[in-house]
Structure 1
Amino acid sequence: MRFAYRFSGLLGTVYRRGNLSFTRDGNSLLSPVGNRVSLFDLKNNKCETFPLATRLNIVCVGLSPDGTLAILIDEEGAALLVSLIGKCVIHQFYFHKPVHSVKFSPDGKKFVITKDNLAYLYHAPGKKREFNAFVLDKTYYGPYDETTCIDWTDDSKCFAVGSKDMSTWVFGAERWANLIYYSLGGHKDVIVACFFEENSLDLYTISQDAALCVWQCDTELDGLKPMPPKDAAKEEDAGENDEELLEEPKGEEIHGKANPSEQETRNKVKYSRVAKYFFNKEGDFNNLTSAAYHKKTHLLVTGFASGIFHLHELPDFNLIHSLSISDQRIASISINCTGDWIAFGCSGLGQLLVWEWQSESYVLKQQGHFNSMVSLAYSPDGQYIVTGGEDGKVKVWNTSSSFCFVTFTEHTSGVTAVTFTSTGYVVLSASLDGTVRAFDLHRYRNFRTFTSPRPSQFSCLAVDSSGEIVSAGSQDSFEIFIWSMQSGRLLDVLAGHEGPISSLSFNPMKCLLASASWDKTVKLWDMLDSWRTKETLIMNSDVLVVAFRPDGKELAVAALNGQITFWDHENAVQTGSIEGRHDLQMGRKELDKITAKQAAKGKSFTTLCYSADGQSILAGGLSKFVCIYNVKEQILMKKFEISCNHSLDAMEEYLDRRKMTEFGSLALIDEGGGGDEGVAIPLPGVKRGDMSYRHFKPEIRVTCVRFSPTGRSWAATTTEGLLIYSLDSGLIFDPFELDIDVTPSNIHKTLRRKEYTMAIIMAFKLNEKKLIQEVIEAVPSSEVDVICSSLPDLYVEKLLEFLASAFEISCHLEFYLIWAHKLLMLHGQKLKTRSVKLLPMIQFLQKSIQRHFEDVSKLCEWNIYNIKYALAISQQRGMKRLAEEPSVDEEELDSDSDYLMQEVHKDKLSS
């Protein structure tokens, strides 16, 4: 239970690639983030990342019409059927080849996927449990090149498929006697999207060269005639495509014909092009990259490679709005069910926007770090996390909503370190641009900038417990600079290291600074004694990171040889060491010719952090694993695999001999232009695109790990983003000193006899959260004082811990505040003796109370404003009435004011 940390959230990554999807109610948005999926609740302003992952990056998402199921398909065609209610995997399926798009029918009974130049119709999984949830019904042949998009008619009778061969095909989900499958041309580039009109077979097709074709059908949806069974058996499909899929069944095969004869099309459904429009009227070449259409409002939204999007009204093609949201290509667009909100995803910037087009305002505007995150820090109360990235940005995240609420862009180069001061209202950041900046979280501004006499690249940062002394280490001049936060003056420059400064850490209890360097030493500097070197610790290898225990009595040092050593810095004595090289398990890169076991030799931990109670240490490095060690026993307690995404490099364990050929490894052979788009070569001898461009996988690594001050979670900045791991809050039976007489029925009997103290002790022995809550809430508020004084010390700590967790979800604020106040007042002196161990729990309690305080204070301020406004209005009316009717006495006016105040109070209570 103590190390039962589970993945609970992904911050800093809001969109990678794939299609965005609104939920059925239109209030939430499903966004693929690498090999995971995040759900953005736009009404409640919260974000949740599902605790499931695919093996590779997700490229397309299909959402069922009832909003309960989703199909996630990765780069190689492996699919997961996911329940959006339970947020768990129901079924796994492999499509054998990369899938381009997937879409459910409006009735939810079938879905279509496209891969290569084929379309496959599957029976959708139902509510009953099935051996195989995906049953192939039909395979459709027709396009000569890869398929790109799908759209269904409103009655689920037909669907359209667009292709890279510039054609669009309309297929029937069932056999229709008067529908022949042939291609619709009219375009000169790849089909990006196709849309049916509402309750009609009329079709819109949009191509990459920003052209829109309007197709009119001579038949209504009700005019489709079912084919008799005997004719269906005799029918011979006309087609020239002989491709066979040997790896999976084809179901019923249906072949379309590109150029049917007049005899074949007689008395059949016919399409005619009635209009063709162009988006680029000025003649500038700008690729159209994505599109979405809302059938009820006839609203067409198109996104372009330049970051511009257009809103048009169809079928008249009237321009409603045009706006540039970024300088990168818009990769995906989605419209919610009401047609009010439009979601845009930009994969180049990792940007996600939700735009309300009628009011021209942002509902959501989130963007992660453009480059890798480098460092992170928790605020003292654990409510916020600050991150710094190689893009020079400093972002502050709310841990409860998972949203970034402020971004500081003052740095002109990569940020190397960030930290909070002890107050929690000031963020400090060090950068390679030679500055250390202080940001105010009240006014959201940069109010201090610390610089060195000579330009230096700062690689690390530390601030003392009082928040008055700021220190930063340089990686080029090998010096440590000390500034005063109050005045901004440079106080001193500490010299003595003979290599780049890699890490700094202040002792939490004393004014003592530890500095680590590549010169194989750790120096301890006394801040009160003219900043002289108090001690020098000699290591066997280059020192990468140093960290003090929360009580300040121990120092942990990680070196380049993979060892973590522990020191009693008062006596300069090493108290223990951990050989962490074998636990790191560095993965093999794609181009490496050795196994992961060989690659891990010589690797080391690059980031360390003590737990809140100081008994454990968290370590990470250039690996997909994060390790928790017990400091006293010096053993590995648990390893966390932060990612299973094989779209990242350094994830492989073994060398794949299947990729070896007589010409070398296939992994070393470049397949072309790389990237998402590849190189487009429309004609022989004509090249478009940068042929020298090479695409490399990002390498999996952990750059920084930090424990929350409350001890209930820890965070890691990784290639995937900012990962949060929390203690599992699910139902776990974890009894404490359990007796045979301690049962729920006996606890209820004790409660009915009004023996509250005994009932609380028995509930804590059974250790079931709901039962504890029931017992405590049954205690009258007048009895709280007596019960708190009679509780044993052991149960006082357990009760405080329960109160801290109950504050986050309960609405009984005053009742629980009375409990917390009485416990701390009566047992405060005894708790002080164990303050170090109880500090995380007290901080957890403070965090919960502080969050409620902020919410309630805003509500109170709003109520005070309303009351003042009501009083002013009543006084103004009273003066006006006195002027008009001098006979009115003041008592009547006072009664009118009281009545008005009562009405305002009623309105507030109802809201």
Structure 2
Amino acid sequence: MKFAYRFSNLLGAVYRQGNLNFSKDGNAIISPVGNRVSVFDLKNNTSETLPISTTKNITCVGLSPDGNLAIVVDEDGAALLVSLITRAILHHFHFHRPVSSICFSPDGRKFVVTKENVALMYHAPGKQREFNAFVLDKSYYGPYDETTCIDWTDDSKCFVVGSKDMSTWVFGAERWANLIYYSLGGHKDVIVGCFFEKDSLDLYTVSQDGTLCIWESDTELDGLILKKSCDKPKPLRQGEEEEEDEEERLEGEEGEVIRGKAEAPEEKKIKNVRYKQRSKHFFNKEGDFNNLTAAAYHKLTHILVTGFTSGIFHLHELPEFNLIHSLSISDQRITSVALNSSGDWIGFGCSGMGQLLVWEWQSESYVFKQQGHFNNMASLAYSPDGQYIVTGGDDGKVKVWNTNSGLCFVTFTEHTSSIANVTFTSSGFVIVSASLDGTVRAFDLHRYRNFRTFTSPRPAQFSSLAVDVSGELVSAGAQDSFEIFLWSMQTGRLLEVLGGHEGPVSCLCFSPVQSILASASWDRTVRLWDMLDSWQTKETLPLTSDGLSVTYRPDGQELAVATLNGEISFWNPHTATQTGSVAGRHDLEMGRKETDKITAKQSAKGKSFTSLCYSADGESVLAGGQSKFVCIYNVKEQMLMKKFEISCNLSFDAMEEFLDRRKMTEFGSLALVDDGAGDGDGVNISLPGVRRGDMSSRHFKPEIRVSSLRFSPTGRSWAATTTEGLLIYSLDGSLVFDPYDLDLDVTPASIRKQLRRQEWVSAIVLAFRLNETALKQEVLETVPHEQIPVVCGSLPDIYVEKLLGFVAACLEKSGHLQFYMTWAQNLLMLHGQKLKNRSGAILPTLQALQKSIQRHFDNLSKLCDFNMYNIRYAVALSKQRGVKRPAEEDQGEEKDDREELSEEMSEASLEDAEMMM
């Protein structure tokens, strides 16, 4: 159970491609992120990534009308049926071709999938378990090119499909006698959106060149007649044979097939549904060519939202085509648009910048605004209390994420080049970042500003960074001049330049207990610098290969070094002797890239770990590098404890160990053959020297790798910056039953019996032996407040640490602050000496407790400050009135004095606030 870490959340990536969906209540937005799906709760301001993943990037998501089910389809057409309640995969299915869109009917009984030039209608999964959840009902053939969009009528009788061949097709979901299919033209470009009017067959169609066509039907929805009710068994006549030939209806195992033809059906006794174009409108009135890329329509409010390649969006009221609102929200193309159920919030996805925005158009304000790093993430660091994570990316941005909500709350953009490393100071309120632009910057988390900028006498590219325990010394290593620079945080002055390395300095790390700096370099040495003794080299540790990463154990008694030959070596920093090593090259298991000329087994010989991190107890080390695997090694036994596969997304490069024979042609690998499409999806060989994705390569397939790893201070989770984003793995004990010292007498009934007898200590011991979270909470909250010191004093030693950890977990979520704080205080005061003797083992528990208390302190202190100024103002105002009444002064003067006093009080409160900040 110690290493039972599971995928918990994905941060730093909010949108990649595909369509957005709002939840049924409109308070959450569902966004595809790579091969995963994230749910952003807009009311509670939290994000959650579902523990599901497809084999390739997700292209479309279909949501059921009740909001309980979602169908997720990837680039190859592999689909997952997911329960949004239990977060579990219910069914796997494969459409065998890429799917462009998927849409449930409003009654939830059917759903339509557009695949190539076919529309497939399936029966929606039922409530009972079945072998095949997706049963094909009908196949609709009509368009000559790929289908792009779908919409249903409100009563689920008909649906409309838009196509790349500039036509729009209306199909009947049932066997209607007067509507089998109807083809609409009128456009000169690809259909982007087609929408039915509310409770009507009237249509709106929008094309890529910015044209809106409004179509009017001569039949109401009630006027549709079922074929079975009007056709009775009788001898076939010539006209009926023609009709049967025209529809080309085929019954078989794959369901009913309906083939539409360009001609409309001949009119029989029943009058067929007809459409006529009522009006035509154009978005690009100024003449500038601006492609329309996304559209959404809200039937209740008659609002049409359209997004364009320039990042502009329009709001129009239909059918009059009145412009309500127009705004530019991005400089990249808007890929997807969605409206919530009330029509107040509009969701926008911009795949170019990885942006996800929710805009409230009536108040013209952002409800939600998140953006990931444009390029790869380079490094991360946890705050000392574990509440925040800071990340630095190749786009030069420093972002700070809240671990509880999973959202970014501040972005610093002062750097002009890639971030090499980021770290927190020991106080937790200062972030320091080193960049290739030649600066090291310090950011204040109180005022959100860059308050220090450290530079070197000669321009240097900083590739490593470290801050000492006191937060006074900042050091950075240069990759071109091979020097280490030391600055003072207080003054910002350069204190010393440490020379001696003969290669780029790849990593720096301060000892957590002494003023000693360890530096790893490509010159195959690790040097230990004494900060108290004239910054001289204390020891030089020889390595077998180039040093890539170095880190201290939390107690400062051991050093771990990762080298280029794939080894992790462990050193005693006091005696400068090597205590052990781990050969980790075979554990990396690097995949074969599409452009590689050699096998994966051969290329793995040149791979290595690039990031190391000790666990909170110092017994194990976390390692990751140029691979999709993260390894946990036991330091004492020098063996692999567990491997985590961080991604199974085949849309990334270097994921498969062997070449796929299906992709091999007579000209070589299919990935290297230029299709000559000319639309940006051609070859994916980047220009010479280009290692990362940029605009100079026509197509980019990123390579999977882990650039940085960190354990949280509490030890309950660890985070990794990868090609996917910021992945968080945590110990989620609520899903696993893990009893402690269980026997037949330990039952919920016996525990409640002890509670009725008021045997508090016995009840607590039994509850912790059963280890059920809800039961433990029930027992603790039943104990009277005045009995807490007595219970804590008579508790067995073995349960003190367990109870303290449980109190820390409850304190984070519960509203009974004083009650759980009393438990924590009594446990620490009465068992302080025993806990001190085991300080190393219980350090994660104490840090979790500190994190919970600090979060509540931050929230309550703001509220108390606000209330304090209000009370002061009210007291001063009441005194003012008490002085004025006996004097019987004029009411007008009293009013003037009151206004004067309120101004003075507001100024005083502002001064007090500034002093406190």
Judge conservation of contact 1:674–1:694 (CA < 8 Å) in 2. no
Residues 1:12 and 1:240: Cα distance change in structure 2 (over 3 Å): farther
| Aligned-pair CA distance for 1:249 | 5.1
> 2:12 is matched with which residue?
12
CA–CA distance in 2 between the matches of 1:787 and 1:263?
88
> 2:212 is matched with which residue?
212
1:411 aligns with 2:427: no
| Aligned-pair CA distance for 1:758 | 2.8
Residues 1:501 and 1:691: Cα distance change in structure 2 (over 3 Å): closer
> 1:468 is matched with which residue?
472
Judge conservation of contact 1:673–1:693 (CA < 8 Å) in 2. no
| Aligned-pair CA distance for 1:664 | 2.2
State the SS of the aligned residue for 2:548: strand
1:845 aligns with 2:845: no
Residue by residue over 1:827-883, the C-alpha shift from the partner in whole angstroms, topping out at 9 and shown as x without a partner, is: 222322222222111111000111112222233334334444554665666677667
1:711 is aligned, of 711, 715, 730, to 715
| Aligned-pair CA distance for 1:794 | 2.2
State the SS of the aligned residue for 2:813: coil
Residues 1:578 and 1:113: Cα distance change in structure 2 (over 3 Å): same
Judge conservation of contact 1:563–1:577 (CA < 8 Å) in 2. yes
1:299 is aligned, of 300, 303, 312, to 303
2:547 is aligned, of 525, 543, 547, to 543
Residues 1:309 and 1:882: Cα distance change in structure 2 (over 3 Å): farther
Judge conservation of contact 2:682–2:699 (CA < 8 Å) in 1. no
| Aligned-pair CA distance for 1:814 | 0.6
| Aligned-pair CA distance for 1:765 | 2.6
> 1:322 is matched with which residue?
326
> 1:362 is matched with which residue?
366
Residue by residue over 1:186-233, the C-alpha shift from the partner in whole angstroms, topping out at 9 and shown as x without a partner, is: 111000000111111110000000010010111111111111268499
Residue by residue over 1:291-334, the C-alpha shift from the partner in whole angstroms, topping out at 9 and shown as x without a partner, is: 01111111011000010001111111111111111111000000
> 2:182 is matched with which residue?
182
The AA in structure 1 aligned to 2:28 is S
The AA in structure 2 aligned to 1:417 is N
Judge conservation of contact 1:239–1:255 (CA < 8 Å) in 2. no
| Aligned-pair CA distance for 1:797 | 1.3
> 1:457 is matched with which residue?
461
> 1:340 is matched with which residue?
344
CA RMSD, Structure 1 to Structure 2 (Å): 2.3
Judge conservation of contact 2:249–2:257 (CA < 8 Å) in 1. no
1:3 aligns with 2:3: yes
Residue by residue over 1:739-770, the C-alpha shift from the partner in whole angstroms, topping out at 9 and shown as x without a partner, is: 55433333333333323223322322332322
1:466-545 superposed matches below 5 A: 466-545=470-549
Judge conservation of contact 1:590–1:652 (CA < 8 Å) in 2. no
1:363-442 superposed matches below 5 A: 363-442=367-446
State the SS of the aligned residue for 1:730: helix
Residue by residue over 1:243-282, the C-alpha shift from the partner in whole angstroms, topping out at 9 and shown as x without a partner, is: 999xx95411111121337657982111111111100111
> 1:797 is matched with which residue?
801
Tell me the matched-pair count: 874
1:836-875 superposed matches below 5 A: 836-868=840-872, 870-871=874-875
State the SS of the aligned residue for 2:621: strand
> 2:673 is matched with which residue?
669
Judge conservation of contact 2:177–2:270 (CA < 8 Å) in 1. no
Residues 1:692 and 1:792: Cα distance change in structure 2 (over 3 Å): closer
The AA in structure 1 aligned to 2:861 is S
Residues 1:4 and 1:676: Cα distance change in structure 2 (over 3 Å): farther
| Aligned-pair CA distance for 1:675 | 6.6
Residues 1:139 and 1:235: Cα distance change in structure 2 (over 3 Å): farther
> 1:617 is matched with which residue?
621
CA–CA distance in 1 between the matches of 2:883 and 2:167?
77
> 2:143 is matched with which residue?
143
State the SS of the aligned residue for 1:717: strand
Residues 1:219 and 1:877: Cα distance change in structure 2 (over 3 Å): farther
The AA in structure 2 aligned to 1:20 is L
CA–CA distance in 1 between the matches of 2:810 and 2:695?
60
State the SS of the aligned residue for 2:627: coil
Residues 1:819 and 1:176: Cα distance change in structure 2 (over 3 Å): same
Residues 1:695 and 1:346: Cα distance change in structure 2 (over 3 Å): same
Q: Which moved more, 1:592-601 or 1:347-356?
A: 592-601
* Structure 1 unmatched ranges of 5 or more: 680-689, 887-911
| Aligned-pair CA distance for 1:608 | 0.3
| Aligned-pair CA distance for 1:49 | 0.5
| Aligned-pair CA distance for 1:781 | 1.8
The AA in structure 2 aligned to 1:292 is A
CA–CA distance in 2 between the matches of 1:65 and 1:509?
58
CA–CA distance in 1 between the matches of 2:294 and 2:74?
20
1:242-281 superposed matches below 5 A: 250-260=254-264, 263=267, 267-281=271-285
CA–CA distance in 2 between the matches of 1:411 and 1:475?
18
1:93-108 superposed matches below 5 A: 93-108=93-108
CA–CA distance in 2 between the matches of 1:481 and 1:696?
37
> 1:608 is matched with which residue?
612
Paired-residue identity, %: 73
Judge conservation of contact 2:247–2:258 (CA < 8 Å) in 1. no
CA–CA distance in 2 between the matches of 1:197 and 1:739?
65
Judge conservation of contact 2:525–2:542 (CA < 8 Å) in 1. yes
The AA in structure 1 aligned to 2:451 is F
Residues 1:264 and 1:842: Cα distance change in structure 2 (over 3 Å): same
> 2:894 is matched with which residue?
none
1:591 is aligned, of 560, 580, 595, to 595
> 1:904 is matched with which residue?
none
State the SS of the aligned residue for 2:842: helix
Q: Which moved more, 1:564-573 or 1:223-232?
A: 223-232
| Aligned-pair CA distance for 1:562 | 0.5
| Aligned-pair CA distance for 1:734 | 2.4
State the SS of the aligned residue for 2:368: strand
* Structure 2 unmatched ranges of 5 or more: 234-239, 684-693, 891-917
State the SS of the aligned residue for 2:810: helix
CA–CA distance in 2 between the matches of 1:783 and 1:705?
44
1:215-254 superposed matches below 5 A: 215-228=215-228, 231=231, 250-254=254-258
1:751-830 superposed matches below 5 A: 751-830=755-834
Q: Which moved more, 1:438-447 or 1:845-854?
A: 845-854
CA–CA distance in 1 between the matches of 2:226 and 2:876?
73
State the SS of the aligned residue for 2:527: strand
Residue by residue over 1:602-640, the C-alpha shift from the partner in whole angstroms, topping out at 9 and shown as x without a partner, is: 211000000011111000001111001111111111100
> 1:41 is matched with which residue?
41
